[in-house]
Amino acid sequence: MSDYSYQDCLEASYRVNWRIEEVLGPRKFDPAKRWMPSALSAAPAIGCLSEAEKIKLSHVEMGAYAHLFGYVEEFIAPLITGRAKAHGEGEAFEALANFVGEEVKHMHLFRRLRRRVDGQLGFSLKLLDGEQEVTRYVLAKNPGAVLLLTACIEWFTQLHYLTAIREDSDLDVLTKNVFRAHWLEESQHAKMDHLETLRAFSAMETTERDRAVGDLIELVGAVDGLLQKQSAYDVENLAAYLGRNFSRAEAEEIYREELKVKRWTFIASGVSHPNFVALFTQVTTPPQRERVQFALAS
């Protein structure tokens, strides 16, 4: 990580750059296949669904997964825009400006992917709304906290593709294509998030670092609240897709397992990533880390 540089990130981004049409084209998901990898799906843990129903659950989960990525990129784009402006001219500005352009492209990619999911399912999935309100809420927090949250997201993006999506031989091909492309560009974003987080914390006094840690805890709590809401929507979406009513026990089991896997996917897999841990350790004190660990445990 000590070797990261804005110029290297920019050059790598130019090499791997792709267009949405190249990734999506006219391709469709295969309805007979899983659209989410087993490692990021609640399906393997749910006993009340048949194998065919578990495949259909993965279709619903893909809509939510794509939506949640686009959802968080709503705040990442303006965050990095501000960071780029603060640099003025030079390689850091150019690399971060390119970063913003790629995030906007990803937002469009995921919107189109969600529409493709809806089209194949035959109805519109119920998904989180209020992106602009959430963006305003997040950006009002301490910049160090927002950058740490962003770094967490960028690192779990790497982990998901490399350990769950790429190696799943039975996974739908469109899923693999989309998230390989996403991973290629996010690989550079994770490095620039690291550099920007170090830069932000280097200018902070102890009291401001304490505020950043407090705000980070609030933000993780807010993310968890969104995951709870989307997990409940997933139960409704699956019932609509299958055309059946779940018993209370069945609905509770599906919700419980969805929330568990979403907490791993969108929180735990990021905060436990070795590169995020190294960054977080570098910008915080042991008491500050204990505060965050206590909050995560709860």
DSSP 145-160: HHHHHHHHHHHHHHHI
Helices (H) and strands (E) in the chain, counts: 12, 0
pTM for this predicted structure? 0.95
Neighbours of 296 (CB within 10 A): 16
Q: Does residue 1 surpass a pLDDT of 90?
A: no
pLDDT value at residue 88: 87
- How does pLDDT run across 52-86, given as a tens digit for each residue? 999 999 999 999 999 998 888 899 999 999 999 99
Return the residue matching tokens 């998030």.
193
Q: Which residues contact 21 (CB under 8 A, 6 or more apart)?
A: none
- Report, as an integer, the average pLDDT of 114-121: 97
Q: What top-level class would CATH report for the domain 6-18+30-297?
A: mainly alpha
pLDDT value at residue 2: 66
Tokens of 60: 């619903």
* Alpha-carbon span 65 to 234, nearest angstrom: 11
